[in-house]
C-alpha cells in the first residue's frame, strides 16, 4: 500500500535508545489488529522501528529517499484472529507500526517498553485514497512538491495511542501523487517546494484535489545561538503545517521561499531537542539584503525525580524509569538509582510536557513551566509519582531436586475455558533467568491459568493458578523439577510391519493437567522412526493415557500405562494398530 514516492517515516535506520545491556532478554509486546467491522485482521503486519526525535524525522523527510526503506528492527504477522506477539530486543522507547495491504497504516509513535505489555486493539480502516495534483498559477504541473495530509476528523481515530502514520509524499513528473485516506476521512492538505512557500490547509473530502501554489520570494536565513554565533545544525519547518523546509548547516545561509505578503511563521529545531517558533515580517524587505537572523535562547537544563506513587511518604525512588519530553521521543533518558533524571537542553520560557514510564507502574506526565531566563543551574521539577499498575502478574522460580536454580527453563502459561479443555489462545512463553526466576505479565484478572515449567532432562511440572494472586508481599511461586524417565516402544501394522511416522501421545491420568496444549512434537509427544520405534522423554512417575495414530490405520484404543520412579529407559513393548 505504500507508494514508492511516499516518504512515510517507517524506516528510519537510527539507533534506538538502549536502556539495558546488550545481553538483556527480549521483551514481548502483544495486541490485536481489527478491521473497521470489529473482526480480527488476519495477515496484517506489525513492525517495530526506532522512536526518533522531531529533528531526525525532519531530516529523513528532506533526504527524499523513495521506496528504499530499511528493514524494521523486528516484525511479525497477525494470526487468523488478528492477534500478534512481537519480541522487542531491549528496553527503551520504540515505534510500533501496523500495516496491511489496502488499509491506512497506524502507529504508536512513542511506546515505552520496560516489561511485557498487552496493547489496546488497533483498528485498520480501508484506504480509499486521495489523488493530489499540484499546479502553478498557470495550471502547469509542479513536480517535486512535498505534500502533507492531516486528518480533518480526529474523532475518527479517537484518543487511542494508535494514530495514522504521518502522510507525506512527493509529486512525480506529472505533479501528482496519492495519499492514504480512510473512506469517511477528510484530509487537510498542504504543499511546498523550492520557490513556493508552504501553503494549502485545504480540506479534501472527495477522491481528488488540486492545489494551486503561488510563488514566493527568495530569502536567506541563519540560525544563531544566544551570543549571535551560527548554530552548527538547524532544521527549519513551516509552523502551521510542520512541513520540513530545509537544513541550515552552520556555514551557508539557508535559502527558502517566503510568502510574497503577510507574516512568515517558521519553527526551528535543533539536534539537542530544542525548538522555537519565529514570526517575522522581514520576508518583505528588499531582496539582496543581509540574511534574516533567528536567534535561539541559551538552553535551560531540567532535573527532577520519579518516585513510586504507592509510597505514602513519597521517598521510594523508581530507578531505571524512562523520561522524555512529550512530542520529542528521541530525547529519552533513564533515572538513576536515586530516581533522578536530567534533560539538558530546554527552551527558556516554554512549557514542557514531561512523560515518564517505569516497569510495574502506569505511565505519568507532568507539565513543567521553564524559567524565562537562561541559567546553568537546572530547573528543579516537582517529583512525579507513578501509580502501580493494576495488572496481575505471575512470578516464580524453578529449581531442581537439590533446590538449585534452573536457568533457561521454559515457562508456558495456558488459559483453559469451561467448555473445552484448552483455550484457542496461544500460550504465553517465558524463560527463567540465571537465578531461575521468571515473570509473566500482564494477565487478565479473575482468570484461571495452567502454569508449566519444563527443562530438557527433567519432568515438566504444572500448577493451576488463579488470579489475582495474594498481596504483593507473597513469595514467588516455586516449581521443583525432578529428573524424568524415558519410555520407548514399537508400533506395527496388522502384518507385523513397522509403521514409520505414527504419532504417539501421552497424557497424564488427571485430565485437568493434560499436556495436549503442547505444540506438535513437544513434550509427551513423539513420532515413530523408519523402524517403527519411538521414545518419549522427560516423563514424571505416574499413570498416563497412551494414544497412537498411524497413517491410514485405525488409531490404537487408549491404554493406561504406569511410569515408575527411578532412572533409565522404560520399554513399553509392542503396539499393533
CATH number of the domain located at residue range(s) 394-480 in this protein: 2.60.40.1120
Mean of the pLDDT values across residues 271-282? Answer: 87
Of 508, 535, 521, give the one whose Cα is nearest residue 450.
508
Q: Give the per-residue pLDDT at 549.
A: 86
Superfamily per CATH, domain 485-576 = Carboxypeptidase-like, regulatory domain (2.60.40.1120)
Class of domain 130-212: mainly beta
Residue 392: closest CA among 326, 471, 319 = 471
Q: Say what the pLDDT of residue 432 is.
A: 87
Question: 27-124: which CATH topology?
Answer: Immunoglobulin-like (2.60.40)
Residue 136, burial from CB neighbour count under 10 angstroms (0-12, 13-18, 19+): middle
d(CA 432, CA 398): 7
Task: Return the residue matching grid coordinates 511563521.
Answer: 265
Task: For residues 330-352, give the mean pLDDT.
Answer: 87
pLDDT for the residue numbered 222: 95
Give the confidence band of 89 by pLDDT, cuts at 50, 70, 90: very high
Higher-scoring residue by pLDDT: 223, 441: 223
Q: Which three cell numbers stand for residue 5?
A: 514516492
DSSP character string of 416-459: -BTTBSS-SSPPEEEE--TTSEEEE----TT-EEEEEEE-TTB-
Distance, C-alpha 266 to centroid of its chain? 32
pLDDT for 414: 82
Cβ atoms of residues 487 and 495 within 8 Å: no
> Which residue carries 505533479 as its cell?
175
| Lowest-pLDDT range of 12-21, 46-55, 113-122, 192-201 | 12-21
pLDDT band at 63 (very low <50, low <70, confident <90, very high): confident
- The SS3 assignment for 283 reads helix
Contact between 325 and 333 (Cβ < 8 Å): no
Do 27-124 and 217-295 agree at the fold level?
yes
Cα→Cα distances 4→8, 65, 140, 170, 293, Å: 10, 9, 23, 10, 37
Q: Which three cell numbers stand for residue 206?
A: 472527495
Q: Give the bridge partners for 222, in sequence order.
A: 293
CA–CA gap between residue 331 and residue 274 (Å, rounded): 10
Q: Range with the lowest mean pLDDT among 87-91, 286-290, 297-301, 357-361? A: 286-290
Kindly tell me the burial class for residue 177, based on how many C-beta atoms sit within 10 Å of its own C-beta (0-12, 13-18, 19 or more): buried
62: left (phi over 0), alpha (psi -120 to 50) or beta: alpha
Q: Which of 99-103, 117-121, 500-504 has the highest mean pLDDT?
A: 99-103
Dist. CA 416–CA 316, nearest whole Å: 39
Peptide bond into 468 cis (omega under 30): yes
Q: Exposed, middle or buried by CB within 10 Å (0-12, 13-18, 19+), for 435?
A: exposed
CA distance 525 to 534: 10
In percent, how much of the chain has pLDDT > 70?
Answer: 85
Asked if pLDDT for residue 408 goes beyond 80, the answer is yes
Report residue 462: phi and psi, to 5°.
Answer: -125, 150
Question: Domain limits of the chain?
Answer: 27-124, 130-212, 217-295, 302-386, 394-480, 485-576
* Residues linked to residue 218 through DSSP beta bridges, in sequence order: 257
Architecture, CATH, for domain 302-386: Sandwich (2.60)
- 112 in Cβ contact with 23 (< 8 Å): no
CATH of domain 217-295: 2.60.40
Burial of 283 (C-beta count, 10 Å sphere; 0-12/13-18/19+): buried
pLDDT at 128 over 90: yes
Measured CA to CA, the distance from residue 180 to residue 40 in angstroms comes to 21
Closest C-alpha to 1, from 211, 120, 167, 153? 167
Q: How far apart are CA 389 and CA 407, in angstroms?
A: 28
pLDDT at residue 278, as a whole number: 93
Here the contacts of 471-476 (C-beta below 8 Å, separation 24 or greater) are 476/395, 476/396, 476/397, 476/437
pLDDT of residue 104: 94
Q: What is the pLDDT of residues 226-268, one digit of tens each?
A: 899 999 999 999 999 999 999 999 999 999 999 988 889 999 9
pTM: 0.67
Amino acid at each position: 500500500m505504500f507508494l514508492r514516492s511516499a516518504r512515510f517515516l517507517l524506516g528510519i535506520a537510527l539507533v534506538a535508545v538502549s536502556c539495558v545491556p546488550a545481553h538483556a532478554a527480549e521483551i514481548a509486546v502483544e495486541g490485536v489488529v481489527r478491521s473497521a467491522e470489529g473482526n480480527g485482521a488476519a495477515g496484517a503486519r506489525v513492525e517495530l522501528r526506532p522512536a526518533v526525535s522531531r529533528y531526525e524525522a525532519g531530516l529523513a523527510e528532506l533526504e527524499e529517499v523513495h521506496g528504499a526503506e530499511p528493514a524494521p528492527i523486528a516484525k511479525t504477522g497477525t494470526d487468523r484472529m488478528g492477534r500478534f506477539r512481537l519480541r522487542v530486543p531491549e528496553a527503551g522507547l520504540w515505534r510500533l507500526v501496523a500495516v496491511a495491504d489496502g488499509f491506512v497504516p497506524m502507529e504508536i509513535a512513542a511506546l515505552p517498553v520496560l516489561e511485557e505489555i498487552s496493547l489496546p486493539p488497533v483498528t485498520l480502516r480501508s484506504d480509499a485514497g486521495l489523488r493530489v495534483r499540484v499546479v502553478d498559477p498557470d495550471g502547469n504541473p509542479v513536480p517535486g512538491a512535498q505534500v502533507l495530509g492531516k486528518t480533518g476528523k480526529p474523532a475518527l481515530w479517537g484518543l487511542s495511542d494508535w494514530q495514522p502514520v504521518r502522510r507525506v509524499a512527493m509529486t512525480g513528473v506529472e505533479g501528482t501523487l496519492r495519499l492514504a485516506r480512510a473512506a469517511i476521512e477528510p484530509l487537510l492538505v498542504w504543499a511546498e517546494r523550492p520557490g513556493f512557500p508552504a501553503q494549502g490547509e485545504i480540506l479534501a473530502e472527495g477522491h481528488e484535489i488540486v492545489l494551486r501554489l503561488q510563488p514566493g520570494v527568495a530569502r536567506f536565513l541563519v540560525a544563531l545561538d544566544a551570543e549571535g554565533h551560527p548554530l552548527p545544525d538547524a532544521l527549519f519547518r513551516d509552523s502551521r503545517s510542520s512541513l520540513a523546509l530545509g537544513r541550515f548547516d552552520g556555514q551557508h545561509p539557508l535559502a527558502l521561499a517566503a510568502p510574497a505578503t503577510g507574516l512568515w511563521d517558521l519553527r526551528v529545531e535543533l539536534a539537542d531537542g530544542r525548538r522555537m517558533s519565529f514570526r517575522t515580517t522581514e520576508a518583505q524587505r528588499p531582496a539582496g539584503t543581509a540574511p534574516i537572523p533567528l536567534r535561539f535562547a541559551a538552553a535551560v537544563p531540567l532535573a527532577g525525580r520519579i518516585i513510586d506513587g504507592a509510597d505514602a511518604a513519597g521517598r521510594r525512588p523508581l530507578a531505571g524509569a524512562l523520561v522524555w519530553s512529550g512530542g520529542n521521543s528521541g530525547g529519552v533518558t533513564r533515572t538513576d538509582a536515586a530516581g533522578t533524571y536530567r534533560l539538558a537542553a530546554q527552551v527558556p520560557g516554554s512549557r514542557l510536557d514531561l512523560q515518564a514510564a517505569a516497569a510495574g507502574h502506569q505511565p505519568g506526565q507532568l507539565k513543567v513551566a521553564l524559567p524565562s531566563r537562561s541559567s546553568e543551574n537546572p530547573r528543579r521539577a516537582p517529583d512525579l509519582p507513578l501509580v502501580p499498575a493494576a495488572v496481575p502478574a505471575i512470578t516464580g522460580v524453578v529449581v531442581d531436586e537439590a533446590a538449585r536454580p534452573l536457568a533457561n527453563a521454559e515457562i508456558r502459561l495456558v488459559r483453559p475455558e469451561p467448555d473445552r479443555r484448552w483455550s484457542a489462545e496461544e500460550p504465553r512463553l517465558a524463560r527463567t533467568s540465571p537465578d531461575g526466576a521468571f515473570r509473566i505479565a500482564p494477565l487478565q484478572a479473575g482468570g484461571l491459568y495452567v502454569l508449566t515449567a519444563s527443562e530438557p532432562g527433567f519432568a515438566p511440572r504444572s500448577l493451576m493458578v488463579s488470579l489475582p494472586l495474594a498481596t504483593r508481599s507473597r513469595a514467588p511461586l516455586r516449581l521443583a523439577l525432578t529428573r524424568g524417565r524415558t519410555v520407548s516402544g514399537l508400533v506395527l501394522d496388522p502384518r507385523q510391519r513397522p509403521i514409520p511416522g505414527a504419532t504417539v501421545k501421552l497424557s497424564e491420568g488427571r485430565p485437568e493437567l493434560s499436556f495436549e496444549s503442547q505444540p506438535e512434537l513437544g513434550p509427551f509427544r513423539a513420532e515413530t522412526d523408519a523402524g517403527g520405534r519411538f521414545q518419549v522423554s522427560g516423563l514424571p512417575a505416574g499413570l498416563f493415557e497412551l494414544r497412537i495414530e498411524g497413517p491410514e490405520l485405525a488409531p490404537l484404543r487408549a491404554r493406561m500405562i504406569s511410569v515408575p520412579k527411578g532412572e533409565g529407559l522404560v520399554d513399553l513393548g509392542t503396539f499393533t494398530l
